[in-house]
Amino acid sequence: MEITIIQLFNGLSMGSILLLIALGLAVTFGLMNVINMAHGELIMIGAYATYITQNLFNDYLPASLFNWYFVLSIPVSFMVAFLIGWLLEVSLIRFLYGRPLDSLLATWGIALMLQQLARTIFGAPNVAVKSPTWLDGGFRLMDGVVLPYKRLFIILLVIVTLVAMFLYIYRSHAGRRMRAVMQNRDMAACLGISTRRVDSMTFAIGSGVAGIAGCALTLMGPIGPSLGTYYIVDAFMVVVLGGVGKLVGTIVGAVGIGVTGTMFEYWTNASLGKVLVFLCIVAFLQWKPKGLVAMKTRSLD
């Protein structure tokens, strides 16, 4: 019983991280049909932004304030990743609309360069980010079941991000424009929506969310230049499984992969667990080839 709860919780925690990563991907892929392989590197950038914030607090502020660096690092990593994502869109991605496979290759090249850049600046070894003391310890649910505050905090962070995204997409003017472009780009353009601006804004927001994911990952362990590559393929599997167009698909996909993955890895071992998850995804796609929630469309490419 205890073990089941712990595994379930670990799966939920894994799923929430995947969700945070896949959220940005789902939006950029759904809106612009661009596959951003550099998304993992934006996570890495967010993580290093947190690392730098921590070091700045350490060096220039009194020790009593150190615990609060993390509160600041969340918006900082969002902004840094947001800016870099915006730059990326303006300088490269906009030349690649309508060519999803090419966008995949080009952004992969960017990912390679960003990784190497991080290696040059911060060095190849992993660096540790000291988590604030108020996240140490855990919540004791029952005997033998302690839920670490760090993981609970990540889940909370994901929920907050999710609500913010929901409000942005479904309750704001900018979000309405975004959905309009997503549903019918030409029609939206005819009605006076600047699709260019919506595109770069959306891409930047997706990147910013990746930055938050990077910030959250610093709680899970040391960070390194290839941090993003561990998660990026799983995150893309979430998008494939969940389908594009609605947030709910991404949520179910992420939690599903997180929970089943952790369960399989517990029952078998880490390597076999991954194989089983992959087989499950392929099997699921036999049933719903377009993912869980697909945008309804009458167009035939």
Partner 1 sequence: MQLRTLTPQKIYILIGYAVAATALFCAPMVLSDFRLNLLAKFLAFAIVALGLDLIWGYTGILSLGHGVFFGLGAYAMGMYLKLEASGGRLPDFMDWSGLSALPWFWKPFESFPFAIAMGILIPALLALILGFFTFRNRIRGVYFTILTQALVIITVTLFIGQQKFTGGTNGLTGFTTVLGHSIGSPDTKRMLYWVTAIVLIAAFVLCRFLVKSRFGKVLRAIRDGENRARFIGYNPAVYQMIAFAISAGLAGVAGMLFVLHVGIISPSTMAIVPSIEMVLWVAIGGRGTLIGAALGAVLLNYAKSAFSESYPDAWLFFLGALFVIVVVFLPKGAVGLFRKWKLPKRRRTEHEQQVGHSTV
Nearer to partner 1, 93 or 178 (CB): 93
CA 26, CA 197: separation in Å to the nearest integer?
Answer: 19
Is the Cα torsion angle 20, 165, 130, 137 positive or negative in sign? negative
Q: Taking CA 235 as the corner, what is the angle to CA 230 and CA 239, rounded to the nearest 5 degrees?
A: 160
Q: Out of 2, 4, 100, 167, which residue is the one contacting partner 1 (CB under 8 A)? A: 100
Nearer to partner 1, 74 or 293 (CB): 293
Total residues binding partner 1 (CB under 8 A): 43
Q: Out of 3, 159, 285, 297, which residue is the one contacting partner 1 (CB under 8 A)? A: 285
Let me know: does 256 contact 300? Beta carbons within 8 Å.
no
Which neighbouring-strand residues pair with 147? 139
Nearer to partner 1, 220 or 294 (CB): 294
Nearer to partner 1, 107 or 131 (CB): 107
Per CB under 8 A, 240 contacts partner 1 = yes
Which stretch of DSSP H or E encloses residue 183? helix 173-183
* Closest approach of partner 1 to the CB of residue 178, in Å: 21
Tokens of 38: 């550099």
Tokens of 88: 């990326």
* Closest approach of partner 1 to the CB of residue 241, in Å: 10
Per CB under 8 A, 233 contacts partner 1 = yes
Q: Out of 27, 106, 155, 212, which residue is the one contacting partner 1 (CB under 8 A)? A: 106
Q: Which amino acid is at 262?
A: T
Tokens of 256: 């599903």
Per CB under 8 A, 274 contacts partner 1 = yes
Through-space distance between the first and last CA atoms of the chain, rounded to whole angstroms: 50
Q: Which amino acid is at 83?
A: L
Window contacting partner 1 (CB under 8 A); options: 3-11, 74-82, 152-160, 233-241: 233-241
The SS3 assignment for 194 reads: coil
Query: For residue 228, what are the contacts with CB-CB under 8 A and spacing of at least 6?
Result: 39, 40, 41, 42, 43, 44, 111, 115, 214
Q: Out of 111, 129, 255, 293, which residue is the one contacting partner 1 (CB under 8 A)? A: 111
Q: Out of 112, 128, 159, 160, which residue is the one contacting partner 1 (CB under 8 A)? A: 112
Per CB under 8 A, 229 contacts partner 1 = yes
Q: Which residues bind partner 1 (CB under 8 A)?
A: 29, 35, 92, 95-96, 100-106, 108-113, 115-117, 119-120, 229, 233, 236-237, 239-240, 269-272, 274-275, 278, 281-282, 285-286, 289, 300-301
